[in-house]
Amino acid sequence: MAGRTRTTKKLAQRIDLNYFKKLRGIPRWRRILSAVFTLAGLAWLGWHALAGSPKPYNAGPVARSHALFGEKCSACHVSQARFQHTATDQACLACHDGPIHHAEQTFTPSCASCHVEHKGVLRLAATSDEACTQCHASLNENDKNTPPKFASNIRGFDRSHPELTALRNGAKDPGTIKFNHQVHLDPKKPIRGPNGPVQLQCSDCHRSYGLSGLWPFALNAGSAATELPSLPARAYMQPVNYEKHCAACHPLDFDRRFKEPAPHKEPKVVYDFVVQKLASYIAAHPAEIPLVDEPDKRLPTRPPQRPARNAQEWVEQRLADAQLLLWRKSCKECHTPAYPQGYDALPEIPKAAVPARWMQHASFDHDAHQLVACTACHTKTLNSKETSDVLIPSIQTCRDCHHSAANAAEARCFECHSYHDWSKEKPPAGKFTIRQLTE
């Protein structure tokens, strides 16, 4: 490095003092690219703005059922003030009805706060538990009734959710029919059927609606099972009915002369029927007026019968026997007749009062549970001897499958409960024309 020296002055004097005022190289490109990217973004948005479409601001795909008009933002995002285009409750109510839940609730959440759109869900009604627990977790604050009528601190389908009403506090089955499930279902002691011993299945008496097939123990053997009620098909069990489920094994025989059993109706009707039957018989067979019948083995002892003098007497004698058989034996097997006007009058049979639906505030679909054996949930049935036993399963049984886990059954509130009181539903009145939807 013979002659070359580096001094501060020499180095500094190589530099043009205005070099930093012009942008060159990377800073220049930085500036250019800033403009380019920003303008590109604005151009994209501007393009859509000019086309009048707010598509870039779409927060996500709409629910499956709304897919038809999902791209037509103005279907729901209607202009309120000049600027505001929020989708309000009015937008939902234009097509749907959302009847109020309870008159006593302190605030009504908006549709969108529970039914969250723009998440591409399959089922918009599948709300999160928080939609419900926002009130029900502290119901005493959110209910105008004090104290609230329902449990106050429900946080989900966990221990905070109370037991089913029917099973709470030693509640009993209000049904008046005396029935012993254990005897009927005991596998070790088959019961006597019309054609020999039978082993009953649950479905011989309990079936949901909409199923085809014949009732095996019906009055007219094999009457069809189906009947469409107003309740959702296949969800609920059809009510137990004498003609369909009991008649075959528990016929209302009243006299050995008649095969036809008495109708399963009010005592007055049965009385009139028996009288009419006896009268018509003795009228057809007057020769048998003086004949004496052997006492029925099923009846309690009675004084021996005197031969009847006339038809009327004959009928009266046989009528007494029949009444004895019926009121004191057959009916009494299942019912508990009462004699408010004395034993000589006709008994009064209390109403059966078998609950058709056990859960008033929740729905249950047996069809959805067809994979489970009846006794897997209704565990107490096989051992139930008393009518008063409530045989619907406890909520714990539900929780065995329905709990919060990925491989468990749906345990969110909406699965059983409905927020909207559909009994107050108004008839639907959609607002769109086909043209509007398909343009």
Partner 1 sequence: MRIDRTHRSWEVATLVLAVVSTVAYIAYAVRSPAGPRGGSALGLTFGIAGYAMMLYAGLLGARKKVPTWRIGRAQTWMRGHIWLGSLSLLLILFHGGFAFRGPLTAVLMILFFIVILSGWTGALIQHFVPSLMTTRVPMETIYEEIPHVRAQLCQEADKLVATVCGPIGSEEAAAEEFGGAVTTLVEIEQEDRARFRDIYLRKLRPYLSDPDSEHAELADLNRTSEVFDSLRRLLAAPVHPVLDDLENICEEEQQLSRQIRVYRWLHSWLLVHVPLSIALLVLGGLHAIMALRY
Partner 2 sequence: MSDVHLTIDGTAVTVPAGTTIFDAARMNGIAIPTLCHQQNETPVGVCRVCVVDAGGRVLSAACVRPAEEKMVVSTNSEKVVRARRTLVELLMADHPSPCARQRQSNDCELETLARLEGITQARFPRRLSPRGQDNSSLVIAVDHEACILCDRCIRGCDEIRHNDVLGRRGKGFMAGIAFDYNLPMGNSSCVSCGECMVSCPTGALTNKSIVKTVLPGEPVDVDDLQQLAYFQKVSGTFLELNKNAVVRRHFKKGEIICREGEYGSTAFYILEGQAQVFLSTPLAHVQSKGGAAGFFSRLSSRLVGRQQERRQDEGSRATIPIDASVDLPYDNPIATLGPGDLFGEMTCMNLYPRSATVRAATDCVMLEMLRNVLDIIQRNKTLKAQLEANYRKRALDDHLRSVPMFASLTQDFIDVLRSKVELVRYTKGDVICRQGDIADAFYLVRLGFVRVSEPHPGGELVLAYLGRGSYFGEIGLLNGEGRRTATCTALDHVELVRIHAEEFHQMTEQFPDVRRSLEELAYERQTQNRQRLATATSTPLDQFLTQGLMEAQSLLVLDLERCTRCDACVRACADAHDGITRLVREGQRFDKYLVATSCRHCRDPLCMIGCPVGSIRRRNSLEVIIENWCIGCGLCAKNCPYGNINLHPFNVLEDDPANPGRQVAVVKQKATSCDLCTDHAEPSCVYACPHDAAHRVEPNEFFRWIGAPLETEARTHSR
Q: Which residues bind partner 2 (CB under 8 A)?
A: 6-15, 17-18, 20-21
Instruction: Say whether residue 52 binds partner 1 (CB under 8 A).
Output: no
Site string for partner 1, 86-125 (x = CB under 8 A): xx---------------------x--xxx-x-xx------
Among the listed ranges 49-57, 141-149, 233-241, 259-267, the one in contact with partner 1 (CB under 8 A) is 49-57
Write down the least CB distance from residue 421 to partner 1, Å. 19
Write down the least CB distance from residue 39 to partner 2, Å. 18
Nearer to partner 1, 114 or 177 (CB): 114
Write down the least CB distance from residue 74 to partner 1, Å. 11
In the chain, the amino acid numbered 291 is: L
Q: What's the half-sphere exposure (Cβ side, CA atoms, 13 Å) at 28?
A: 6
Compute φ and ψ for 208, nearest 5 degrees: -85, 165
51 binds, among partner 1, partner 2, none (CB under 5 to 8 A by kind): none
- Site size with partner 1, rule: CB under 8 A: 51
CA distance 299 to 278: 19
One-letter-per-residue 3-state SS of 50-92: HCCCCHHHCCCCCCHHHHHHCCCHHHCCCCCCCCCCCCCHHHH
| The two structure tokens encoding residue 257 | 């002369």
Nearer to partner 1, 11 or 405 (CB): 11
Write down the least CB distance from residue 37 to partner 2, Å. 20
Quick check: 414 and 406 in contact, CB under 8 A? no
Nearer to partner 1, 156 or 216 (CB): 156
142 binds, among partner 1, partner 2, none (CB under 5 to 8 A by kind): none
CA distance 393 to 395: 7
Nearest CA-CA partner of 275 in 252, 254, 295, 296: 254
Instruction: Say whether residue 85 binds partner 1 (CB under 8 A).
Output: yes
Write down the least CB distance from residue 110 to partner 1, Å. 10
What length does the chain have? 439
Q: What's the half-sphere exposure (Cβ side, CA atoms, 13 Å) at 235?
A: 14
Identify the DSSP state of 240: P
Instruction: Say whether residue 128 binds partner 1 (CB under 8 A).
Output: yes
Write down the least CB distance from residue 193 to partner 1, Å. 55
